[in-house]
Amino acid sequence: MPINIRTQFIYTVQPGDTLYAIAARFGSEVALIEEANALYPPITDPGLIFPGQVLVVPSTSFGENHIYQTVNPGGTLFHYAQRYNTNVDLLQGINPQIGDPNYIFVNQALLVPAFSYEVVQGDTLYAIARRFDISLSTLLEANRERPGLSEDVIYPGFRVIVPLPSSINIVVFRPYPGTKIQEGQPLEGFARAFEGTILYRIVDSADEIVSRETSIQTSAGAPAYGTFSKPIAFDNSPTTSRGELWVYTRSARDGSIQDLVQMPVRF
C-alpha cells in the first residue's frame, strides 16, 4: 500500500507564487510537487498554478509521514479542524506551540491528524475512502481546492490526504488504518486522559480477541494531550486476515468505554 513516509506540507498558493519558489521554501523539488498534485499535461500546462489552489508539497527527505498545514491568510483552527475531520481541542493539543486557539499566524506550520496516500493505477476516490474506512465526503473535504483532483478521475502518483481516525481526546498516528500490523509494531499517537491512562485492544473480523485490553501510559495527564508509544502485543493469533484496533478510555464512574477510536487493520 503506497503510503508516503516523508514529511509533507499543505500550502495554499498565494499571488506571485511559483513552483520554484514554493519548492525552495519547503525543501522540495518542482518535479515532486508536480507529481503529487498532477500538475502536468493533459491536466494543466507544466508549472501552471493559481492563487487559492491547495498543494501537497513533499519534502525531499524520507522519515515520518507527518502532514503540516501551513496557515493561510484567514485560516482558523476551526476551519482546519473541519478540513481534517477533527476538533479544535485536539488540533491545539497536538500543537503545544499554540497558546490561544483564537490566534494562529499566517505561515505557521500546524501538525494535522492526516497521512498521505499515493494513487496507483485503478484507484478511485470511493475505493480509497472505503479502504481507510472514511466517508467520501470526508476525503473530498480534506482535499478541497486541490488541482488535478476530481471525483471521477484521479491519476497515479497523485497524493491524496487522508484524515486519521480520532475522537475528541485521542488520535492514533501509527499504525495507519487499513495496513498490516504485527506484534512489536509501535502504537503511537496523542491522548488527553485522566492520569494519562488509555487502553487498547485488537479483535479480528470473527470477533476473536487478538490483544486483550491493555493499558498505555501517556506522557502527560489531562488537561494536557500527552504522546503515547507502546509495542503492540498479541495474546492470540488472528483467525482472519482483517480486524479492528480500538484505542479508548473507560469511565471512572461506570467503566463504560469513552473516546473510542476504531481503526481497520490487516494481519
Pairing status of strand 67-70 against strand 54-62: unpaired
pLDDT of residue 229: 97
Q: What residue type is assigned to position 69 of the chain?
A: Q
What mean pLDDT do residues 214-237 have?
97
Report the C-alpha gap between 48 and 154 in whole angstroms.
Answer: 18
pLDDT of residue 43: 82
Q: Is the pLDDT of residue 31 over 80?
A: yes
pLDDT of residue 62: 65
pLDDT of residue 45: 85
What b/e string do you get for 209-242 counting C-beta neighbours within 10 Å, with b at 16 or more? ebbeeeebebebbeeebbebeeebebeeebeeee
Question: In this structure, what C-alpha cell is assigned to residue 48?
Answer: 501552471
pLDDT of residue 2: 84
Q: Are 36 and 93 in contact (CB under 8 A)?
A: no
Give tens-digit pLDDT for 102-123.
Answer: 999 999 999 999 999 999 999 9
3 state SS of 158:
coil
Give tens-digit pLDDT for 47-93.
Answer: 899 999 999 999 987 667 799 999 999 999 999 999 999 999 999 99
Q: Mean pLDDT lowest for which of 1-10, 63-72, 95-104, 170-179?
A: 1-10
What mean pLDDT do residues 145-174 have?
93
Q: For the purposes of burial, counting CB atoms within 10 Å of the CB of 8, is it exposed (0-12), middle (13-18) or buried (19 or more)?
A: buried
What mean pLDDT do residues 204-221 have?
97
Nearest by Cα to 86 from 106, 113, 48, 67: 113
Torsion sign, CA atoms 176, 182, 186, 191:
positive
pLDDT of residue 63: 64
The distance in angstroms from the start CA to the end CA of the chain is 14
Q: What percent of the chain has pLDDT over 70?
A: 99
Q: Which domains does the chain have, with CATH numbers?
A: 6-163 (3.10.350.10), 170-266 (2.60.40.10)
Nearest by Cα to 54 from 6, 112, 95: 112
Tally DSSP H helices, then E strands, for the chain: 6, 13
Q: Is the pLDDT of residue 228 over 80?
A: yes
pLDDT of residue 60: 84
Q: Is the pLDDT of residue 1 over 60?
A: no
Report the C-alpha gap between 251 and 10 in whole angstroms.
Answer: 37
Q: What share of the chain is helix, strand, coil (3-state, %, to 5)?
A: 15, 35, 50
Q: What's the whole-number average pLDDT of the chain?
A: 94
Q: Is the pLDDT of residue 42 over 90?
A: no
Report the C-alpha gap between 167 and 175 in whole angstroms.
Answer: 16
Torsion sign, CA atoms 166, 169, 174, 179:
negative
